[in-house]
């Protein structure tokens, strides 16, 4: 069988990098997409050193022209993509009365507009193949989180986006699902600790103490769940949101 091709956005580091490496380990060729193409090198090198096949691609997922060009590069370099993981994301946290229009728009553009543009560009390849997997990254913040009106709204929006695409694309053999991480040790959560002025180790310990399984999440926890949705065994699972948070709401 021809090797399947996956695109993972925001894959230069963190959850995206772990997901790209996990999918490559499962036998997929992986396009490692990030805003800065040079930043994808570490992930690409890790995949290739493990015997996998990867391509680093730089693109602004909020730009339709950049997205179309990036997908064409993937088609030329690896083949037609039939797996898409919409992971790219940013935070611009602030309380509502301090939040600027720019803070709001930037978060919406990367999370929601970016996932829309990437999904629209890739779905034609999935439809043509009669098989596809789209996995969107939401968050427990979709349930509400102080100081994250923009991020929470975007992550909640991705859940509705997921369910709608599942309805539209199911008849073409395409499943669409959503992973909603809880507290994960990553550069993004380190930035949050810095923003609120807390020592990182103290912050992690405090967050872990609130989680029923009594530990902080790791990027591999999310990558493993994405891999389940991408796999053949999840072909009858679509339009679902899994909270990977160590408990029912943490």
- DSSP letter at 94? B
Q: How far apart are the first and last CA of the chain?
A: 41
243 annotated active-site: no
Following CA atoms 39, 43, 46, 49 in sequence, which dihedral angle do they give, to the nearest 10 degrees? -80
Coil/strand/helix, residue 237: coil
- Catalytic residue from among 11, 24, 82, 151: 151
Q: Which two tokens stand for residue 165?
A: 């695409």
Q: Which two tokens stand for residue 134?
A: 């789209």
Catalytic residues: 151
């Amino acid at each position: 069988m021809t090797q399947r091709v996956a695109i993972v956005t925001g894959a230069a580091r963190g959850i995206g990098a772990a997901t790209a490496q996990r999918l490559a380990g499962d036998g997929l060729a992986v396009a490692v997409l990030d805003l800065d193409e040079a930043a994808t090198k570490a992930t690409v090198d890790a995949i290739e050193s493990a015997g996998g096949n990867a391509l680093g691609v730089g693109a602004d997922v909020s730009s339709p022209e950049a997205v179309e060009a990036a997908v064409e590069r993937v088609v030329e370099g690896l083949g037609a993509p039939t797996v898409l993981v919409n992971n790219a994301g940013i935070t611009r946290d602030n309380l509502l009365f301090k939040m600027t229009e720019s803070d709001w728009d930037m978060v919406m553009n990367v999370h929601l507009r970016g996932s829309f543009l990437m999904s629209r560009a890739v779905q034609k390849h999935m439809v043509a193949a009669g098989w596809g997997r789209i996995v969107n990254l939401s968050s427990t913040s979709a349930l509400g989180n102080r100081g994250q009106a923009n991020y929470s709204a975007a992550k909640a929006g991705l859940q509705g986006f997921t369910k709608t695409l599942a309805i539209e694309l199911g008849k073409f053999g395409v499943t669409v699902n959503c992973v909603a991480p809880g507290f994960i040790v990553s550069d993004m959560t380190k930035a949050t600790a810095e923003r609120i002025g807390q020592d990182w180790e103290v912050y992690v310990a405090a967050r872990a103490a609130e989680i029923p399984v009594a530990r902080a999440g790791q990027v591999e926890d999310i990558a493993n769940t994405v891999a389940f949705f991408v796999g053949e065994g999840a072909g009858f699972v679509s339009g679902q949101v899994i909270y990977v948070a160590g408990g029912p709401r943490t």
